[in-house]
Chain A
Amino acid sequence: QAQLQESGPGLVKPSETLSLTCSVAGGSVSSGPYYWSWIRQTPGKGLEWIGYVFHTGSTNYNPSLKSRLTLSLDTSKNRFSLTLTSVTAADTAVYYCARLWVVVVPAAGVAYYTDVWGKGTTVTVS
């Protein structure tokens, strides 16, 4: 079973850039029907999906963050990363990295479930 672990600074100053990394153990970021995803939890807004990166390099971002967000993946180190620019207090949250399981339903379409999560890392913008 894959295990994910977030790392990065716990405190970021307003207007600066937030960078987080997620290390993957027990599985490869290059294989399987998986997208590698970030989700955050804020006290006021609950869970917010941030975006995903696929091993081909393709990405999909939440429109609410798209202008400030970059997700990338390093297959050689089996990890993926988040960069969020121009942060404000509203970006204070617990950030989770997660594996997005892509389920193909014949004749119906595709579904996306988050089947493995990291424990989360708290980021405060102040």
Chain B
Amino acid sequence: DIQLTQSPGSVSASVGDRVTIACRASQDVSSWLAWYQLKPGKAPKLLIYGASNLQDGVPSRFSGSGSGTDFTLTISSLQPEDFATYYCQQAKSFPIAFGQGTRLEIK
């Protein structure tokens, strides 16, 4: 099974900051990786698929990069609504696996 390791586990930042979250896969997943945003009481949201493709309706301040085993999610200029928990997911094979999450908090 493919396992994903995210870092950091949590990060504190301010509105306007640039934030990068990393995700490492235990084996090559090519570009088949997604990023999600979770907020309490709301439906989780797909942000990025195929490692770098922005899902419809997602603001362009979100971007993804990487291939193989190392991936990053970048938020170029944090907005108040971006404070949430972010997860990566490998999309290559079953069982589908998620990273352990990165909690983005207001500094």
Which stretch in B38-46, B62-70, B72-80 binds the other chain?
A: B38-46
Count contacts on B: residues with CB < 8 A to the other chain.
Answer: 26
> Chain B nearest CB: distance from A95 CB in Å?
12
Q: Is B18 an interface residue (CB 8 A)?
A: no
Give the A-B contact count at a CB cut-off of 8 A.
62
Bound: A51/B31 CA distance, A? 22
Q: Is B100 an interface residue (CB 8 A)?
A: yes
- Contact residues in B for A116 (Cβ distance below 8 Å): 43
Known A111-B50, A113-B49, A115-B55: A62·B98 in contact at CB below 8 Å: no
> Chain B nearest CB: distance from A76 CB in Å?
25
Count contacts on A: residues with CB < 8 A to the other chain.
Answer: 26
Q: Is B96 an interface residue (CB 8 A)?
A: yes
Q: Is the interface of A mostly helix, strand, loop or mixed?
A: strand
- Contact residues in A for B44 (Cβ distance below 8 Å): 96, 98, 114, 117, 120
> Chain B nearest CB: distance from A61 CB in Å?
8
- Contact residues in B for A114 (Cβ distance below 8 Å): 34, 36, 44, 46, 89
- Contact residues in A for B61 (Cβ distance below 8 Å): none
1/0 contact trace for A104-126 toward B, CB 8 Å?
A: 00001101111111111000000
Interface residues of A (CB under 8 A from B): 4, 41, 46-49, 60, 62-64, 96, 98, 100, 103, 108-109, 111-120
